[in-house]
Structure 1
Amino acid sequence: MTEENRETGRLIGYARVSTGGQELHSQIDALKKAGVPEKLIFIDKASGAKSERPGLDSCMQELQAGDTLVIWRLDRLGRSLKHLIETVEQLMERGVGFRSISDGGIDTTTASGEMVFNIFATLAQFERRLIQERTQAGLKAARARGRKGGRPKISANDPKVKMAKKLSKNYNISIGEICNTLKISRATYYRFLKIGE
């Protein structure tokens, strides 16, 4: 990095599309228009839900203190709201700024943008706490009515359990075929075989 870059920092871009059939042109054009050099734009063609994103991994390794990560829209970066906030918080701890082009108020390199992000993070934390409280209240109410949480027990007389046991004795049928036929996972198949033993 040059002395000038150390002082002003670099703009580094990240773009993602969910499938190979989608195009990245509009995102890349928007990043270039925002001042990101094309050689510093990292890309992925993968679902946001996937944890493996080599382009994002390379982007994170490239980023240094003073740099700013620029994305086209918030949903291009995070697998979920929680993951997005954790990622941006990690960048801020490393001294890296964050800017979303389409979500104008999100720019941690400005005081107002950082405040917007902090409000965003606080609302997400508030939502998580509400969900936890509702879950706990629901479990408490269920226990008061004599119900226990967790998966309901399956009896040895359940038709799927009987069929799984019967098919397991036919060595011409693979476990995968049995699971597909009964629409169950392998873990469930093995659990069914233990029922009643």
Structure 2
Amino acid sequence: MVRMQETTYVRVGDHDLTRKYGSPGAQTLKVLTTYIHHNHNSQTLDNDIALLKLGGKVELKEGVCLVCLPARDVSHAPGKRCTVTGYGYMGETGPIPLRVREAELPIVSDAECIRKVNAVTEKIFILPASSFCAGGEEGNDACQGDGGGPLVCQDDGFYELVGLVSWGFGCGRQDVPGVYAKVSAFIGWINQIISVNNL
């Protein structure tokens, strides 16, 4: 699905909203086109991913850098600690922070995630193949407003974009992991969108 956007903008490199003129290196670019995954399911949040085509090039400088994409279908071992960042709520009811925050979370095995999420939900939870779980530590989590944000893992000195914040029950609850879109499951789709649209 391709969705045309008229007034959506992406701001990169801004990590401190308390500063009058923003962070050094911050840039604002218009979104020309949004490519939503053709099998996105808004009920189950399966295939919870989209690509944005920007109307210009991002300048790499202080506070603005690239993150690597993972290899296709790679998974990280349960227990590996990775970092999620965002401007989301600082607790289940807020407040919203004015500086980007980060949390270090463990990757959780699919079986453990299914068991733990089913312990707190009324509907039977089935983890989509395109998702994985991380977290489950008290007070250490992504939250409302972090959706779509990055979960990065360090591998051989490089940071890889392993997951995108998708959904969860509450925020930072003990033994309740959050659900992330598994970027490695979408490498073929990402390459196809880039090649078909000459991006």
TM-score by length of 1: 0.23
Query: Which structure is higher in strand share?
Result: 2
Q: Look at both structures and tell me which one has the larger radius of gyration over its CA atoms.
A: 1
Higher relative contact order (CA 8 A, sep 6+): 2
Where is the helix percentage greater, Structure 1 or Structure 2? Answer: 1
